[in-house]
A and B are shown apart, each in its own frame.
Chain A
Amino acid sequence: MAVRRRDAAANERASTAGSPCGKCCGRGVFTSGGSGPIRGSGGCASDEMSAFLGGALRSRASHRLWSSAPLCATDTIFALSSGQGKCGVAVVRVSGPASALALRGLTGPDRPPAPRTAALRSIFHPQSKEILDRGLVFWFPGPHSFTGEDSAEFHVHGGPAVVSGVLDALGSLPGLRPAEAGEFTRRAFHAGKLGLTEVEGLGDLIHAETEAQRRQALRQMAGDLAQLYRDWSQRLTQCLAHVEAFIDFGEDDLIEDGVLDQVDNSVAQLQTEITCHLHDGRKGERLRSGVQVVIAGETNAGKSSLLNLLCRRPAAIVSPIAGTTRDVVETCLDIGGFPVLLSDTAGLRETADAVEQEGVRRAREKVEQADLTLVVVDATQLPTDPLQVPVFLGAHLLAVLPHGVGLEESLRHCILVLNKSDLLPVEQVEKTQTFLNKNPGLPPASLLSCHTSHGLENFMTSLQSRLSSLCGDPLAGTPSLTQARHRAHLHECFQALGQYQQYRDVDLALAAEGVRLALTGLGRITGKVGAEEILDIIFRDFCIGK
């Protein structure tokens, strides 16, 4: 009679010697093994100089209420905090306990700047020691800073090469990561640094930033890269599900050890692929900076004429034939000092022509990624009764803008352009313009003629005001920052997979934790994966008998 123990399956493995935990840090006070560690490290004296020199990694987490403790206190974040557009100086802001480290890393250990005083320094890359720029640096020891934490600022020359050089340099330091949308302001809020009136506006700002970031990610993720990340995420989810199955059900069900061998292979494979990807010099097509403005609408409404009018040259072919533009025509413009990437798209209509269908598909994709959409409508089709106008325009907007969750949002990011005003009787032009000025619950609308340029001034004013609010948002249209964020998360993912391998034979719970962390890192790029999804895979792949 064979003797079998419920946990016999994995006993052999337990005896294969594994590496000891090498990552232990002797810091911290023992507080009741998991129940007590809720307490933060308490306040600390603000000896500013010593904080600058030595206390770089000291946590300022306070165990008091949220109002005095920033969320996630120990991460140090950085971002370009000046808006884009034509500017001589760009401001890169760093906040968190490692701010001092960042300042020392980029400007050298000598001569720390006095708190809250400008100091001229050479700024160099901490690894390559290459000089990036010469600029002003500031050191704001907490709590007397915008976020209430230690923070630092680098005021450098505004060129894209310098800015991305500084961002790269910061990203290479331990403990620093690119900021998430609205994180600085969020921290400031939590530190009680914002007044009530400022808080009111903050929500909207965060909203705008999140949206801008979502659109940016969408652009970045379009195409092969998205496919690659999604594939990794799926494989990693599968790995985690199988490890979890082995932990939760391995004892009583026929889940063979082979399951873990498969996971081993997958993890090793993923590690290789992620490293290759991180070291791959090709970053894909360089994403151009600028506010993405897309012209969309029905065929023959005058979209290409509008493009030509805005760039003062015949960049797109115009003709009276509907469906002339079939592909996306892009052009870089400077409008009122703001960098704009203007795209003209194919007219939206049902068509049997395969080429035009593809054009329409691309047009819709463009609209989804746009920061601002100019919806062009043929004004000669406007109903003569002004009361019918909102319904008519509403139907047009619905036909052009993406449906579903994003609709409310897209309405806020669009301008209606009623073209061909020269073909309308003068009194109707006036009547319509007066009516539109009353803002009947529609996005801003301008009546103009691309043919005679009548009404253009009015339209430009409204366009520039939208651009200025969009450019005030430092995160919009900076692909390098999105890329830096993605790289940081991929690096996290890679390191966490190392934890899996380190503990695979020692402690499967800790190994699984590694896969979970890896998936969290990747999830920050591709979207979250929850516990229920893991369980779904477990129950799909295994027959759980008890």
Chain B
Amino acid sequence: MDAILLQILNGLDKGSAYALIALGLTLIFGTLGVVNFAHGALFMIGAFCAVTLSRLLSLSFVTIDETQTDFLGNPLKVETPYVEAWFGPETGAAIIDWSVPLAILFSIPIMALVGLFMERGLIKYFYKRPHADQILVTFGLAIVLQEIIKYFFGANPIPTPAPDAFAGSLDFGAMIGMDPNVIIYPYWRIVYFLFAAGIIGAVFAFLQFTTFGMVVRAGMADRQTVGLLGINIDKRFTFMFALAAVVAGLAGVMYAPINSPNYHMGMDFLVLSFVVVVVGGMGSLPGAVLAGFLLGILESFASMAQVVALLPGINQIIIYLVAIVILLTRPRGLMGRKGVMES
């Protein structure tokens, strides 16, 4: 029982990452009709926003300490971050410690700009091109983006810890009257889940309750008619692309403390998030979110030792297996509409 509860928790967590990326992909696909293979790269850039900010905050000046030596026997260069010099060691250290949450603010304008440039500079010219061309050009872009990051940050993962206040874990089991230590969950992961839920809620509310969102939804359903009504749908679509980039970026920023960011983390997520989108049904936002959580939870269950003992290798293939079963029983995924991406 507690094992199952734990895996549900794990799944919710993993699922929220899938759901956030899939949500962005679906926004872009649903509004612009573009299959964006560079979406994983946006997630990765978000994570590197956190890395960059923590590097910026720890920019240091060098003083030479004659009493100590470095590995070559030269006097040791001691680095002191500017923020610590400006705000005093304690406040300075606290600012550096909080670099990941601060990176949320830092990343929003950056991701919006990245999204804007991508849409205006490249994607715009591909609205009328076949999906295969869109895949190819965004795939090329993803490679370029990831190589640029690799050039500046190297290939190894870079540790980007959460603030100390979120270190450690919550003894969830003890709270609901079970033995201590049975169900514990790290604070940061709980934050991640709540954050993801908040973002998903905000995007839905935005589309549901604002006029802007209404127009966009109308455009998703029938772009031509909306255009005939004299509404400039293109401008709104640009905005939606930037929004999707911000959602992917925020998912990346918050994910950085969970797994140290590296330049290929986007590609690792890309294929899975596509599977998630398709299982949810192309173009359906609730479908994407539902499928994200569903696959996350199933993946967690499949990795239980008891399950693997029964079906060796199931933890490696569960997502794909589920995708096949769902697509064969529900032709357009869980909540897909007819006629999308089928011709």
Q: Do A and B come from one complex?
A: no
